[in-house]
């Protein structure tokens, strides 16, 4: 970092340094911070637009609150790069989202200023409330502040927390950072409410009402006097947040530092539950991001001047395969409806949304609701397709069991980002879905090995009457043409890809290519299993009978995964073929490049080969139960049977 470019920012190694600056210097700091952020993300890639919008808010919060003693709980964490830069991580930003470098989200392990780890949405108010109550229990005067976006405010969990807080006697500040955007424009009645607040219609003539309310708040008279001098916004009765037991303050301009500082300073002195509505512009200060905040929400490395990405694969991603299939199937079947919990772009639903606006639902960051909403549609004969990331499906587990599977409702789950997800890291890893789906009765679960199979499996899931899931990985596959057909695959049938000797590899989904490469070296048989549920029993049992060693491979947690399903089948059939399960070991895998993550887990060709060689050698000397190991590759060698 050049001190020439960043004369002030270069002196800030902690919020204490920041608090040593005079208020007049903060504008310059904001402009340096913004420049640094753009330069940094242009090089590393990552989340940009939200951080740009939160620059002044971040400075004002650290300036006013005594962090890390006071707790700042950022929601999701994608907007927290300015916070990282101001809290001692400035010089580490060049390793952002890379192996061994800074996380793209928030991590308690990474910094004492990250009061709460995050990556998933809408947890901040609950966590900050917990901290506020803990402070009360222990007699501490530390403050707890949740900073949450209008997108994150669409999730039920945020209201569960407000509802709980509204009935407690905690000191809690919730800052709503409202930029009218989720990843795409925010939707729903809440956004309409916020827009009405912004338009000013609601607060005309309410000044007197506010004063009346404030006289009943401790210290409020003094606060009102001081605050009104600086702030154009005001405390209004009648907002949703007032009804939930908070004092609503705002809306105020989140790029106006003097206003932010005086408001926050006053709020820090107030007890009770405060709700500050701050209005910001997503992408603020970088022309390209202001023009297209949706694209600049999360980007790969780009040219600063033009805003164009440096690299881009021309190959179709699995998301692209889903996108084409969805439009084609929607053309063929008028009953199809598409649902996304606020991930239109990420899930590849833009074209569908344009072409079939009447059958497209962005339900907000509301995964639980998305599934039960789909269940309701299915009850009435519609054919819902829910596009959802594996990691976010975790939020909707009871809805899947109780509302969909138990009633055997016809819902298709298009599960994107299944597997390790590279730079997004542990918070976003999709490595648990097989475990939590396959124990649910009525589920059909498939994992494609290439793009063509992905399309076929989506059709299979769609035509299957009942809940069905296709889990496909982030990024591109081997590059197989998908074709244009909409026919289903035969149900529950695996495909034998290679006949070899002694060893059979049962590959589930994306790992097939690596399994084939490993098998070539040792002349092993390879099966593309295709279905996790129902398993192709015949093929598994035949492979077990014809070989000395079975090897299951999947880009998923070993615990409870597809390999476990094979183990269960073999045990039930009293089939004693030695088996090893390769997959993601029992620990969280940090961010980094995807190929590196696979190698770390022993899921590339050489890792698979190494695991087999190690097991095969042990087979000569022992017929016992386990292979112990020190590092990840060997941890995969779980249990001979």
Ligand X SMILES: Cc1ncc(C[n+]2csc(CCOP(=O)(O)OP(=O)(O)O)c2C)c(N)n1
Give the binding site for ligand X (CB under 6 A). 50, 76, 78-79, 120-121, 149-152, 177, 179, 181-183, 282, 342-343, 365, 392, 395
Give the nearest distance from C-beta 30 to ligand X in angstroms.
Answer: 17
The residue annotated as part of the active site, out of 395, 417, 471, 530, is: 395
Q: How far apart are the C-alpha atoms of 104 and 591, rounded to whole Å? A: 8
Q: How far apart are the C-alpha atoms of 169 and 246, rounded to whole Å? A: 11
* CB nearer to ligand X: pick between 150 and 453: 150
Active site residue 367: yes
Contacts within 8 Å (CB) and 24+ apart, 164-168: 164/126, 164/129, 165/125, 165/129, 165/132, 165/245, 165/246, 165/273, 166/244, 166/245, 166/246, 166/273, 167/245, 168/129, 168/133, 168/273
* CB nearer to ligand X: pick between 267 and 387: 387
Burial class (CB in 10 A: 0-12, 13-18, 19+), 320: middle
Q: How far apart are the C-alpha atoms of 43 and 98, rounded to whole Å? A: 12
Active site residue 109: no
Q: Tell me how crowded residue 487 is: count the other CB atoms within 10 A of its CB.
A: 10
3 state SS of 395: helix
Give the nearest distance from C-beta 50 to ligand X in angstroms.
Answer: 3
Give the nearest distance from C-beta 322 to ligand X in angstroms.
Answer: 17
- Among residues 473, 510, 299, 298, the alpha carbon closest in space to that of 391 is found at 473
* CB nearer to ligand X: pick between 152 and 375: 152
* CB nearer to ligand X: pick between 76 and 420: 76
Active site residue 395: yes
* CB nearer to ligand X: pick between 343 and 447: 343
Give the nearest distance from C-beta 391 to ligand X in angstroms.
Answer: 8
DSSP secondary structure, 268-284, as one string: HT--SEEEEEEE--TTT
* CB nearer to ligand X: pick between 151 and 448: 151
- Among residues 259, 226, 232, 250, the alpha carbon closest in space to that of 27 is found at 259
Give the nearest distance from C-beta 57 to ligand X in angstroms.
Answer: 10
The residue annotated as part of the active site, out of 32, 180, 367, 453, is: 367
* CB nearer to ligand X: pick between 342 and 434: 342
Q: Tell me how crowded residue 635 is: count the other CB atoms within 10 A of its CB.
A: 18
Q: Which residues contact 362 (CB under 8 A, 6 or more apart)?
A: 184, 187, 340, 341, 342, 344, 353
Strand order from edge to edge, sheet including 549-557: 495-498, 525-528, 503-508, 549-557, 579-584
- Among residues 607, 329, 621, the alpha carbon closest in space to that of 488 is found at 329
- Among residues 498, 602, 608, 582, the alpha carbon closest in space to that of 543 is found at 498
Give the nearest distance from C-beta 126 to ligand X in angstroms.
Answer: 13
Residues pairing with 416 in the sheet: 389
Residues pairing with 586 in the sheet: none
Is residue 46 a contact partner of residue 423, using CB atoms and an 8 Å limit?
Answer: yes
Q: How far apart are the C-alpha atoms of 57 and 257, rounded to whole Å? A: 8
Burial class (CB in 10 A: 0-12, 13-18, 19+), 137: exposed
* CB nearer to ligand X: pick between 9 and 289: 289
The residue annotated as part of the active site, out of 89, 90, 273, 282, is: 282
Helical H segments across 92-155, by residue range: 124-138
Continuous segment of H or E residues that includes residue 328: helix 318-332
* CB nearer to ligand X: pick between 63 and 392: 392
Angle between helices 537-546 and 562-572 (to 10 degrees): 70
* CB nearer to ligand X: pick between 150 and 403: 150
Give the nearest distance from C-beta 371 to ligand X in angstroms.
Answer: 13
- Kind of pairing, strands 444-446 and 468-471? parallel
Continuous segment of H or E residues that includes residue 519: helix 512-522
Give the nearest distance from C-beta 180 to ligand X in angstroms.
Answer: 8
Give the nearest distance from C-beta 433 to ligand X in angstroms.
Answer: 14
Q: Which residues contact 544 (CB under 8 A, 6 or more apart)?
A: 504, 550, 570, 575, 577, 579
- Kind of pairing, strands 360-362 and 336-340? parallel
Give the nearest distance from C-beta 44 to ligand X in angstroms.
Answer: 18
* CB nearer to ligand X: pick between 120 and 633: 120
Give the nearest distance from C-beta 146 to ligand X in angstroms.
Answer: 12
| Residue 128: DSSP 8-state | H
Question: Max Cα separation, the chain?
Answer: 87
Is residue 52 a contact partner of residue 97, using CB atoms and an 8 Å limit?
Answer: no
Instruction: Supply the residues annotated as catalytic.
Output: 282, 367, 395
């Amino acid at each position: 970092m050049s001190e020439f470019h960043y004369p002030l920012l270069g002196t800030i190694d902690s919020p204490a340094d920041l608090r040593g600056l005079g208020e007049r210097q903060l504008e310059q700091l904001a402009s340096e911070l913004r420049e640094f952020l753009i330069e940094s993300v242009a090089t590393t890639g990552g989340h940009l637009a939200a951080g740009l919008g939160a620059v002044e808010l971040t400075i004002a919060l650290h300036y006013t609150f005594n962090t890390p003693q006071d707790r700042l709980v950022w929601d999701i964490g994608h907007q927290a790069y300015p916070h990282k830069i101001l809290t001692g991580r400035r010089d580490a930003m060049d390793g952002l989202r890379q192996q061994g470098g800074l996380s793209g989200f928030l991590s308690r392990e990474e910094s004492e200023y990250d009061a709460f780890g995050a990556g998933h949405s809408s947890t901040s108010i609950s966590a900050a409330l917990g901290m506020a109550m803990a402070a009360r229990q222990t007699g501490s005067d530390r403050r707890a502040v949740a900073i949450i976006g209008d997108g994150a405010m669409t999730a039920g969990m945020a209201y569960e927390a407000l509802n709980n807080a509204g009935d407690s006697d905690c000191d809690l500040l919730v800052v709503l950072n409202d930029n009218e955007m989720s990843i795409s424009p925010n939707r729903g009645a809440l956004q309409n409410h916020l827009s009405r607040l912004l338009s000013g219609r609601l607060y005309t003539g309410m000044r007197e009402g506010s004063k009346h309310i404030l006289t009943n708040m401790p210290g409020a008279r003094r606060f009102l006097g001081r605050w009104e001098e600086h702030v154009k916004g005001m405390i209004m009765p009648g907002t949703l947040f007032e009804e939930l037991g908070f004092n609503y303050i705002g809306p105020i301009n989140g790029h106006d530092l003097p206003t932010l500082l005086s408001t926050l300073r006053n709020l820090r002195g107030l007890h009770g539950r405060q709700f500050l509505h701050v209005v910001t512009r997503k992408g603020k200060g970088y022309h390209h991001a202001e023009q297209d905040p949706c694209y600049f929400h999360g980007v790969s490395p780009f040219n600063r001047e033009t805003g164009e990405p440096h690299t881009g694969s021309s190959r179709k991603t699995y998301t692209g395969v889903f996108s084409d299939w969805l439009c084609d199937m929607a053309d063929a079947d008028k009953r199809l409806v598409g649902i996304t919990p606020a991930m239109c772009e990420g899930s590849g639903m833009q074209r569908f949304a344009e072409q079939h606006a009447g059958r497209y639902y962005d339900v907000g960051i509301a995964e639980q609701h998305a599934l039960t909403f789909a269940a309701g549609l299915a009850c009435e004969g519609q054919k819902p397709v829910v596009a959802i990331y594996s990691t976010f499906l975790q939020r909707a587990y009871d809805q899947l069991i109780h509302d969909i599977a138990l009633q055997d409702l016809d819902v298709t789950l298009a599960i994107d980002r299944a597997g390790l997800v590279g730079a997004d890291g542990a918070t976003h890893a999709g490595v648990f879905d097989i475990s939590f789906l396959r124990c649910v009765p009525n589920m059909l679960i498939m994992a494609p090995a290439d793009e063509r199979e992905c399309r076929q499996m989506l059709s299979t899931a769609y035509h299957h009457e009942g809940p069905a899931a296709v889990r496909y990985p982030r990024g591109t596959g081997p590059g197989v043409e998908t074709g244009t057909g909409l026919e289903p695959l035969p149900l529950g049938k695996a495909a034998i890809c290679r006949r070899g000797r002694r060893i059979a590899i049962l590959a589930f989904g994306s790992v097939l290519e690596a399994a084939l490469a490993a098998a070539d070296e040792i002349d092993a048989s390879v099966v593309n299993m295709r279905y996790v549920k129902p398993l192709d029993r015949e093929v598994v049992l035949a492979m077990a009978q014809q070989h000395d060693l079975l090897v299951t491979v999947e880009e998923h947690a070993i615990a409870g995964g597809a390999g476990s399903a094979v183990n269960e089948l073999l045990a039930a059939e009293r089939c004693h073929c030695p088996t090893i399960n390769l997959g993601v070991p029992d620990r969280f895998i940090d961010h980094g490049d995807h190929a590196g993550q696979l190698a770390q887990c022993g899921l590339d060709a050489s890792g698979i080969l190494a695991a087999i060689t190690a097991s095969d050698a042990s087979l000569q000397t022992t017929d016992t139960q386990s292979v112990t190991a020190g590092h990840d590759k060997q941890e995969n060698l779980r249990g001979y049977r």
